[in-house]
Chain A
Amino acid sequence: MSSETKQILTTDGIPLEVSLKKAERRNKIKAFLLVAPLLFFLIITYVFPIGDMLMRSVDDKMVTEMLPKTFKAMETWDGKELPEEEVFEAFYLDFRKLVDEKREGKLSTQLNYTKNGFKSIIKKLRRKSKSFEEGNYKEQIMAVHKRWADVEYWKAIKRRAPAFTGQKYLKGMDMYKNENGDIVSVEEDRRIHRILWLRTLEIAFFVTLFCFLMAYPIAHLLATLPMKYSNLLMICVLLPFWTSLLVRTASWMILLQQQGVVNDFFVGIGLVADDARPEMMYNKTGTYVAMTQILLPFMVLPLYSVMKTISPSLMRAGKSLGGTPIVAFWKVYFPLTIPGIGAGCLLCFILAIGYYITPALVGGASGTLISNQIAFHMKSTLDWSFASAMGLMLLSGVLVIYWIYNKIVGIDNIKLG
């Protein structure tokens, strides 16, 4: 039997499905119009910038556009011996054009990123190329400087042929593509990014752990205390939210610095000598303390919202069935709070991994995170494509964590409030 014969018709003879769609279309349009402003807003402020960031991080069109004829001529070059005359000719033509447009300086900067030594020979080439004769460009260019006769430099140019590159990502991992196209690590004493990634993960992990250890009892208290006390406690938990982040960080600076309140107290009770005050700021300790305090509410609230729904009779049931309070807690209460723990930890970890302002202020040299490095490249070196690449690496790291969490606990088993 075909589906048409089974179709149910309304009294007017219109198929039921069509009629239903028609009846619901109005509501669907209304619903869409209601969410449209937000959708529009999200596309403009979120999807578009992230897409732009992605493009920027792999974009390498500059050199490609500057040397179009050269790269075309290089297509047939095997990259072992020096290229043929036609490549030199194409390069000369491209270069003349750049000199006319006064853009050869940019080319030298870009090529110098790929291989040191381009700057001076391009300058020299510009001077000499004015008096070049037609024909036999290979000889003439190679005569400008001995590096122009070195195949390694031509290989370096060819490496810049693709319009897209992953080298910023490699740089973010302290790696690069060498002359032979192999991916290798930079020398050990120049590996800063790996240290930062590891430190970021470490700090995010421990901050999440500390938050969890402190938030669990608080959330439990909040969920079990009588209303009048729990409201007060809730205000205490939320108080940091009502204070500016900068003010909170600054307060930690006042508290933790060497001449600060905490150190004064330690000296006062004789715990440490006045001339041996411990450094609790401008290092990891400062970052840990301040970030834990700042991220604590993000752990408390999901935990609280889950604990609130756990009936106190469950713990009682566990005890009345013979479980000691510890067994009842561990077998009954704790498993039921896992959705809250997952949500809180995920939230804290993701916030911590991209945290910027607090580590920048209290972290010092050993307490800064990858986000500070991103900011540095955004503001100081202006290497936006590198900053974008690291930003995306951070984003994908978060997505990986999300994915792992989904595999282990299940994302449907999460409760954000």
Chain B
Amino acid sequence: MNKEFVKFDKVDKSYDGKTLVVKDLQLDIEEGEFVTMLGPSGSGKTTCLMMLAGFETPTHGEIYLNGKAISSIPPHKRGIGMVFQNYALFPHMTVYENLAFPLRVRKIPKDEADKKIDKALSMVSLQGFADRMPGQLSGGQQQRVAVARSLVFDPQLVLMDEPLGALDKNLRESMQYEIKHIHESIGVTVVYVTHDQSEALTMSNRIAVFNDGKVQQLSSPDELYEKPVNSFVAEFIGENNTFAGEVSDISGGKCKVKIANAEILANPISVKGKGEKTKISLRPERALINPSDKMDNIHSGKIEEVIYHGDHTRVRINLLGNNQFILKVPNSSANMDIKLGKDIKIGWNSDDARALDPK
């Protein structure tokens, strides 16, 4: 497999000549991979997608597709499938005509085109909908037509720009699996843009977290969640408890961080020496109540808020001067004594407390 199927090489993009929307972007995407560009709005992720599709030109740098520089190739010659945010189905054409459009401009004979259209429609389980107009379809069905249309001409690369943004929650989840399965079954390379982290975590092989025009971290979903490399990623992906402090000691793969009135043992990720400012990130599910003695961080705090969530209870605790410390406690009979105002002991392993940049 081609490791550099899509390659952004030192790409800059500016719209107004004053600020850079994308800064020195370096990104390789493997053939057959499902890569998600995830980030808050204005982080430059959609701009990257548009540059890849050919609707924006890089201000500096070059984009390669399968080894070929594509900056000077117009969009219609790139052969990249694209699914747009609001589907962008042609409203005056039937579903069949929508799917036939890319085949017709490629002058594919009708019988062959019909076969491809049938195949694409059955892939998104919309057989029998060929003669409908897009306006007669539900949002989810329109979305499937858009996906089918982007795949019907067998592109090597498909771009998806927040395709599920307009769907309701349940439909969105089922479409996530559906798109994931389609990707797995035909092995096409997909670049997906979203601001919804759960969508990104569910679907992707790798996720590129964008912020401020830069890729903050590019890694698999589990690594992104478990091992964020900086505090932006840690806070953007999933829930996160933080403690701001100063490194007081660092030795043997562990560091001591001094916060308001206590010391926390943490895993030094982006701190190198004593006296550095840092922010400790700890996932709520890694902190436990009633900790065993083996844990190297054990502190006690006061319960400030208890919110019942069905399968688990969210508990907000005032811990070491941080009154936003969140704990997720599974609903089991052992944890029935969580009451507002009670003092409680919390513990975690120093490996899970990652000392990151102070930001």
Contact = CB atoms under 8 A, between A and B. Distances in A.
Q: Do A and B bind each other?
A: yes
Interface of A: 311, 313-314, 316-325, 327-328, 331-332, 335-336
The 3 A-B residue pairs with the shortest CB-CB distance, nearest first, are: A321-B102, A317-B88, A320-B82
Interface of chain A: mostly helix, strand, loop or mixed = helix
A320 B90 contact: no
A316 B75 contact: yes
B90 A314 contact: yes
Contacts of A324: 76, 105
B90 A317 contact: yes
B18 interface: no
A328 B84 CA distance: 16
Contacts of A336: 91-92
Nearest to B84: A313
Interface in B72-92: 74-82, 84-86, 88-92
A321 B105 contact: yes
A332 B90 contact: yes
Given A316-B75, A328-B76, A322 B84 contact: no
Contacts of A311: 86, 88
Nearest to B97: A331
11 contacts: A316-B53, A317-B88, A317-B90, A320-B53, A320-B54, A320-B81, A321-B76, A321-B82, A324-B76, A325-B76, A332-B90
B5 interface: no
Nearest to B92: A335
Contacts of B78: 320
A290 to B, nearest CB: 36
Contact of B84 (A316, A323, A331, A335): A316
Given A316-B82, A316-B84, 11 more contacts: A319-B55, A319-B74, A320-B81, A321-B150, A322-B76, A323-B76, A323-B101, A325-B74, A325-B76, A327-B76, A336-B91
Contacts of B91: 336
Contacts of B85: 313
Contact of A322 (B53, B88, B153): B153
Given A316-B88, A320-B53, A327 B81 contact: no
A317 B91 CA distance: 12
A322 B86 contact: no
A331 B77 CA distance: 17
A322 B106 CA distance: 7
Contacts of A320: 53-54, 75-76, 78, 80-82, 159
Contacts of B77: 322
B149 interface: yes
A51 to B, nearest CB: 41
